[in-house]
Amino acid sequence: MVAESRYYRNLAIWLERRGYYVGRSEPKVYSSRELFIRKGMKKAQVDVAGVKNVGKSYFDDIEIATIEVKHSNTPRPLSLLELEQTKVYQTYAHDCYLAVTDRISITEENKTDARNRGIGLLKIPLDFYKKKPNQVKIDDIEVVQTPNKATPNEIEMLEFLGILGIVRCTLCSCYFHHWIAYEEEFPNLPPKSRSFKWLVRNKVFELFPDKVDQFDIKHKHGKSKIWRHLCLLCVEDLAKLYGIGKLRKDIDALKRKIAKL
């Protein structure tokens, strides 16, 4: 008996071979704890996910791919319920695949049903889970049907990306991994520090000003917040623009003089 979860890691590596970022932080190290495996919101937790940058010089954009995995130790047909389960991920992903092992048969009717739902179909060899990371190749998986590009809900997509540790800078609109440390660009930062400035703002139009003062944060409506992020590149550029760096140096110099008194 082979557990379905044993296929997850190598499918994540397969996505990486296709140009997607799957959460790996060190070269040649594929830890299931770091990979985008079993991630999602509420009941819509996808088995495997990947993120690809598709932006141009003047616009940063990304695409998200998800893979729902189905395995059976005995022969059986693909069910319509499994296709519907895969379709749910189009809420926050652009390319949604349903991957099945060889014992699950894909009929022409299944292909039509998947095509009508914009879902891609993948066929996994039964022994695929046995491959070592360096042995995984793109042609190991048969792409039975390519998915149609979905248009995810932007709010749901950003929330899903946040679960993956990816956020969008409010100022420059570029996407970045918020736990990556910029030791080379920002030598004054402590190692493994957050790579962004986290801003918390009120949801002003949910505060019902006719019923409660919007600045009364103790009121239940005053706790309604939204999050905004600034990448450190923008933070540094803003600091240079307003001369904050020089001001900090002047303050530090003044503190040293006072300490000598």
Residues 105 and 219 reside in one and the same domain: no
Residues 106 and 8 reside in one and the same domain: yes
The whole-number pLDDT of residue 200 equals 72
Residue 165 domain-assigned (yes or no): no
Residues 184 and 214 reside in one and the same domain: yes
Residue 160 domain-assigned (yes or no): no
The domain boundary, picked from 125, 154, 183, lies at: 154
Residue 207 domain-assigned (yes or no): yes
Residues 123 and 228 reside in one and the same domain: no
The whole-number pLDDT of residue 191 equals 42
- Least Cα distance to 114 among 91, 143, 92, 147 occurs for 147
Between CA 47 and CA 70 the distance in angstroms is 10
Residue 115 domain-assigned (yes or no): yes
Average pLDDT over residues 76-99: 94
The domain boundary, picked from 127, 154, 181, lies at: 154
Residue 164 domain-assigned (yes or no): no
- Listing from the earlier edge strand, what are the strands of the sheet with 95-101? 37-41, 44-53, 62-70, 95-101, 120-124, 142-145
Domain span at 236 = 171-260
Average pLDDT over residues 2-13: 92
What is the CATH number for 93?
A: 3.40.1350.10
The whole-number pLDDT of residue 205 equals 58
Question: In this predicted model, what pLDDT tens digit does every residue of 118-144 receive, in sequence order?
Answer: 999 999 999 999 999 999 999 999 999
Residues 128 and 192 reside in one and the same domain: no
Residues 132 and 62 reside in one and the same domain: yes
**Range with top average pLDDT, 87-96, 190-199, 209-218:** 87-96
Tell me the pairing of strands 120-124 and 142-145.
Answer: antiparallel
Question: In this predicted model, what pLDDT tens digit does every residue of 206-253 receive, in sequence order?
Answer: 555 555 554 555 555 545 677 788 887 887 787 777 776 677 777 888
Residue 8 domain-assigned (yes or no): yes
Residue 98 scores a pLDDT above 80: yes
Residues 135 and 188 reside in one and the same domain: no
Residues 142 and 178 reside in one and the same domain: no
Confidence band (pLDDT; 50, 70, 90) for 256?
confident
- Least Cα distance to 101 among 78, 132, 135 occurs for 78
Residues 135 and 183 reside in one and the same domain: no
The domain boundary, picked from 120, 154, 188, lies at: 154
Question: In this predicted model, what pLDDT tens digit does every residue of 156-183 receive, in sequence order?
Answer: 999 899 889 888 888 888 888 876 544 4
Query: Quick check: 48 and 78 in contact, CB under 8 A?
Result: no
DSSP conformation class of 193:
-
Using the structure block, give the residue that is written with the tokens 């039509």. Answer: 112
Residues 141 and 201 reside in one and the same domain: no
Total number of domains constituting the chain: 2
Residue 186 scores a pLDDT above 80: no
- The phi and psi torsions of 98 (rounded to 5 degrees) equal -115, 115
Angle of helix 108-116 relative to helix 80-87, nearest 10 degrees?
20
Residues 16 and 72 reside in one and the same domain: yes
Report CA-CA distances (Å) from 86 to 68, 82, 121. Answer: 6, 6, 10
- Quickly count: other Cβ atoms within 10 Å of residue 73's Cβ: 12
**Size of the chain in residues:** 261
CA dihedral 149, 150, 151, 154 (to 10 degrees): -110
Residues 99 and 25 reside in one and the same domain: yes
Q: Where are the beta strands (DSSP E) in 102-240?
A: 104-105, 120-124, 142-145, 166-168, 175-177, 196-202, 225-231
Residue 161 domain-assigned (yes or no): no
CB neighbour list of residue 260: distance below 8 Å, 6 or more residues apart: none
- The phi and psi torsions of 205 (rounded to 5 degrees) equal -85, 5
Strand partners, 176: 167
Residue 123 domain-assigned (yes or no): yes
